[in-house]
Each structure stands twice: as structure tokens, then as C-alpha cells.
Amino acid sequence: MSEPVVRVRIELEGTAPLVWRDLDLPLSTTLAALHDLIQVVMRWQDYHLHEFEVGEKVYGVPDPEDAFEDRKVYQEKSIRLGNLIERGVREFLYVYDFGDNWRHRISVQDLRQGDVAVEYPRFVAGARRAPPEDVGSTSGFEEFLEAMADPEHENHAPMLEWYGKTFDPDDIDERHIRMIVEDFAARRRGPLKSHRTGRRPWH
């Protein structure tokens, strides 16, 4: 049977040219699962904290020892994209690494019935490689790109040594992204088995 799916656009704010990705996702996708997918398509390593800002609410992984007692964080695994869309939400933010403050604008592009021949989630398209971990926010990323692109730049050798390899800003590593997202989709095939064993293939 087909299922309702939504196409979302993920844009990394402050990048020029813009770093973006498009995904087709089941409405049953939780924000916790969306976090995992964003980490994959942006090639982040999940080294840092993250949260979703949806209107005035914040979703993430609540810390019972959080010092910000006046700032409630709701469970990201308890809310699904379908719930947000039912509330009229068409745009929200995903923030990764509170130091570098990578803000991803997530917008609903299209809502439709999925294709029975397609397994979801599905990577659709994207452009520009996301910044490396710990590069130092957008200004640090700009300096990194400038240095890596010019072998004569005074910081080229140090940056190359720090990153460990060359950096092609146009190569999003689409083959790897598709492979991992397809693995996510494959893990959704066994809901009945999952129900019987008490295991959930995908949160």
C-alpha cells in the first residue's frame, strides 16, 4: 500500500552558495528520525547537541539535569511530521552544534500520496557539501573554503592537515547519501516483525 509522504527542503542558513537537500519522508517520520537523516545527508558526524525549534516549542533529547530549568525541551521522538503538518506547521528549524550554531531551515514543499513502487525515506536532490565538523561557524567555513581552494594561501597546508584530505565543495557524496538513506528505508520494511518482537526498526 502507498502511504502519505512529504517532501522537505533542508537549507543550511548562512551558506552562499546555499547548501541544501531535498528528502521525501513518510508522515510517520519522527523528529528523532529526521535528526538522524539530516546527519546523513549533511554528512555531519553527530558529535554535538541538537534541537528543533517549532514555533515557540523546542524538541530534542531532554536532559533531567539541564541547567536551563525555565526552558522546556520536549521529546523529539514523540512528535511526527504528520502531527506538525496537521497543526499547520510548514517551516521550522533544526539547530546542530550550539557552538558553531548550524541552523537548518526545514520547509514543507509538497504533500502527496507516495508511490507504491518507492520505499521511503528517499533522497531526492541536493547541492554543495556541508561544512566539516568544528570548522568554526559560517565565518570559519568561508575561511576554510578560501584556504582549501588556493594552494598558495598561507593557511592551505594547516587546513589540509587539519581536515585530512582535499575538500570539493560541489561534491555532496551523493552515492554514499543514497546508500545510507536506502538503508533507513529498508529498515522500515518489517513493521509486523518489529511489533511481534517489540523492536522498532526505525524511530
3-state secondary structure of 107: strand
Q: Shortest CA distance to 144 belongs to which of 129, 126, 127? A: 129
Per-residue exposure over 58-77, b if at least 16 CB sit within 10 Å of its own CB, e if not: bbbeeeeeeeeeeeebbebb
**pTM to 2 decimal places:** 0.89
Domains (range + CATH), the chain: 4-130+172-197 (3.10.290.30), 131-169 (no CATH)
Q: What is the pLDDT of residue 49?
A: 95
Please list the pLDDT of the chain residue by residue as tens digits (203 residues): 678 999 999 999 999 999 999 999 999 999 999 999 999 999 999 999 999 999 999 999 987 766 555 678 999 999 999 999 999 999 999 999 999 999 999 999 999 999 999 999 999 999 999 999 999 999 999 999 999 999 999 999 999 999 999 999 999 999 999 999 999 999 876 543 343 334 344 44
Cβ–Cβ under 8 Å, residues 51 and 95: yes
- Between CA 192 and CA 198, with CA 196 as vertex, the angle to 5 degrees is 110
Cβ–Cβ under 8 Å, residues 18 and 11: yes
Identify the H or E element spanning 4: strand 4-12
Q: What is the pLDDT of residue 69?
A: 58
Positive or negative, the Cα torsion across 95, 105, 45, 186? positive
